[in-house]
Chain A
Amino acid sequence: MPPIVQVEELAIAFPGPGQGWRRVVDGVTFSVEEGEAMGVVGESGCGKTLTALALVRLVPEPGRIVRGAVRIGGNDVLAADERDLCAIRGGLVGFVFQEPAQALNPVRSVASQVSEAARLHRGASKREERALAARLLAEVGIEDPGRVARSYPHQLSGGQRQRVLLASALAADPRVVIADEPTSALDTVSQQWMVELLQELRGQRHLTLLFISHDLALVGRLVERVTVLYAGETVESARRETLFENPQHPYTKALVQARLAANGESGERFPTVPGVVPRAGDWGRGCRFEPRCPFAFGRCREARPALTTLGGGSMVRCFLVSDAEEADA
């Protein structure tokens, strides 16, 4: 069976400066098997959200997907026409957008937003819609779903809004759910509940899940595989245990260290990842992580390392790893 989600050498560009186009994502590759949960992690500006949007071809104007391939459930997403796209969006793929306060329409009731996908994809009637909305809200752990269904987004707490958004993503029984930072607007207690809820829904609905977050620790609680993005490209993709216990890329190593930020003695300094993500357009010829990398050597400044495939479905983009592989072979 081919993977249900396949992204290969994806590149997304925006106009400028001048007449040209600037690539803000360039070199994102990963694949997800049916029923698997994949975490996509990286700092702000690494291209996580744009990649997620590209999976359903919702890259905001005037951005363009300029290279690569995206396949979901046998569909060539980049070649799909409007009708196929409509079937993919919300039907095959449910999307939980960032910032629930903004993703929900303030002037429409919760019920009509939750059941929208069922109306569009399954032709549900008004009566069916209302029953479905209440059922979905109950499924995502909302108490008194009948009352919440009749209410409007501003009457709900942040955690409830996030659950409403999740319910609406499930309305048309998607096979794949993409959740973009579904926990970052929540407090720690609600974060734990959200992760546990996603875990449960996955099991019950046999979902394939893409969980996008800057928080590696949180991602680790839910997924079997993790893809790490840095400056618009995949730098490592591996099984969760492999990635946490034996990270290969220096950036992944730094993220695994920083994950322990709250563990430690009172008054002790917090671990950091020194430096900042380079802005698109400031990427040099060499490895994009080179300026922050404690292990960088001459070649890292000269050439961009390729994504090397290792055993166990792992991939790493680093000369240190690819050179060692070649030496072994």
Chain B
Amino acid sequence: MPDPGGTPLLVAKGVSRSYRVRGRRAAGRPSTIRALDRVSFELRSGEIVGVVGRSGAGKTTLAKVLLGLDPPDEGSVLYVGRPVRNLTSAEARRMRRAVQAVFQDPHSSLDPRQSVGDILAEPLAVHRLVVRGGRQRRCLELLRGVGLPAQVEFLARRPRELSGGERQRVAIARALACEPDLLVLDEPVSALDVSVRGQVLNLLLDLHRNMGLTMVVIAHDVRLVSRLCERVIVVAEGRIVEQGEAHQVLDRPAHAVTSELLAAARWLEEAPRPAATRPVSEHDPRC
């Protein structure tokens, strides 16, 4: 583990990423989309940081860049002080083990043909992780660690036999199998029922507190992120428009996008009363 006071675990320096838009576009639309525009921030070991923004703000592109799945066009990502672009193959292997991802929809991020046991054992085999007491015992330990039944019977189950919440826990257990330094979670609860979200969010709080795991949590719900994370980064149109301590962002949002996200989240949470009406013409065309 890197020294928390020393080199940041991960640094993004002026990272930009554009995508070409293929196929016929409606007139007047640009043929490239700048998904990330000169994004810079630092992530210290042991931190839990939230990234919030609207759909299309560049949140998922940022996740891919941080994970090393998508190289930036400009700027660089440093992992423990070393540019990810120039890692030696041994360093790259270490990073692929130490930086793990959990995606939005566990239905599509888990292979339907693998059993839970296969899913959890694969990273152990790929990264040649030496496991005391054997792989099965390690898999059961991982299940217990995410609050699933640590039973051999459960290892034999397939993803389709699990509920959404159980699937997302399996996806988290798979990430933990690699003993990561950093977990990047892209909308980890938005595909789950409201009633199950709490279970997964509490698990993340526990992992952070008990294991000191560093996490980046990406979500569109700013209130949820502010409750989970110490620091919040707000993105819009590929740029960081605001960042700060969670309570500070919640209490005194500095940017209009943050205020908009907060207002919507509060509105959706409020006790029911007759909804305010607004002329249709005022709606944002992007909606």
Question: Which residues of A are at the interface with B, using a C-beta cutoff of 8 A?
Answer: 43-45, 138-144, 147, 150-151, 154-155, 157-160, 163, 186-197, 199-200, 203, 214-218, 220-222, 240-241, 244, 254-255, 258-274, 276-277
Contacts and interface: CB of A to CB of B under 8 A. Distances in A.
A273 B264 CA distance: 25
A-B pairs, top 4 by smallest CB distance, nearest first, are A220-B272, A270-B198, A143-B285, A272-B198
Contacts of B247: 266
Nearest to B206: A269
A195 B278 CA distance: 11
Contacts of A255: 194-195
B46 interface: no
Interface of B: 23, 25-27, 54-56, 163-166, 193-199, 201-202, 205, 220-224, 226-228, 230, 246-247, 260-261, 263-265, 267-272, 275-278, 280-281, 283-287
Given A139-B280, A187-B54, A192-B268, A45 B163 contact: yes
Interface centre among A44, A163, A254, A271 (most CB of B within 10 A): A44
12 contacts: A151-B26, A155-B26, A159-B55, A197-B280, A199-B275, A199-B277, A217-B269, A259-B194, A270-B198, A270-B202, A272-B202, A276-B166
A159 B201 CA distance: 26
Nearest to B222: A188
Contacts of B281: 141
A260 B194 contact: no
Contact of B269 (A187, A263, A265): A263
B224 A262 contact: yes
Given A196-B277, A199-B277, A264-B227, A215 B283 contact: no
B205 A188 contact: no
A311 B228 CA distance: 42
A38 to B, nearest CB: 14
Interface centre among B25, B55, B268 (most CB of A within 10 A): B268
Given A221-B275, A272-B198, A277-B163, A158 B55 contact: yes
Contacts of B261: 188-189
Interface centre among A138, A150, A270 (most CB of B within 10 A): A270
Nearest to B59: A187
Contacts of A221: 267-268, 270, 272, 275
A150 to B, nearest CB: 8
B286 A157 contact: yes
Contacts of B26: 147, 150-151, 155
A270 B287 contact: no
Given A147-B26, A188-B220, A276-B166, A160 B198 contact: no
A189 B264 contact: yes
A155 B268 contact: no
Given A155-B26, A159-B55, A193-B283, A270 B197 contact: yes
Contact of A262 (B265, B271, B286): B265
A37 to B, nearest CB: 11
A254 B196 CA distance: 11
B272 A240 contact: yes
Nearest to A222: B275
A196 B276 contact: yes
Given A141-B281, A262-B227, A266-B227, A44 B163 contact: yes
B201 A244 contact: no
Given A221-B275, A270-B202, A276 B165 contact: yes
Interface centre among B25, B278, B285, B287 (most CB of A within 10 A): B287
B287 A160 contact: yes
Given A214-B194, A262-B223, A267-B227, A272 B199 contact: yes
Contacts of B268: 188, 191-192, 195, 215, 217-218, 221
Contact of A190 (B197, B221, B287): B287
A141 B280 contact: yes
A258 B287 contact: no
B246 A44 contact: no
Interface centre among A140, A144, A195, A196 (most CB of B within 10 A): A196
Given A189-B54, A195-B275, A200-B280, A217 B201 contact: no
A189 B194 contact: no
A264 B223 CA distance: 9
Interface centre among B263, B276, B280 (most CB of A within 10 A): B280
B142 to A, nearest CB: 19
Contacts of B286: 157, 159-160
A241 B260 CA distance: 27
Contact of A265 (B194, B197, B227): B227
A44 B193 contact: yes
Nearest to B201: A270
Given A140-B280, A220-B272, A271-B198, 6 more contacts: A157-B55, A189-B260, A192-B263, A217-B270, A260-B269, A262-B227
Nearest to A195: B275
A276 B196 CA distance: 9
Contact of A155 (B25, B163, B194, B283): B25
Contacts of A218: 268
B237 to A, nearest CB: 13
Given A264-B227, A266-B227, A269-B205, A258 B198 contact: yes
Nearest to A42: B193
Interface centre among A188, A222, A261 (most CB of B within 10 A): A188
A189 B277 CA distance: 15
B94 to A, nearest CB: 31
Contacts of A189: 54, 260-261, 264, 284, 287
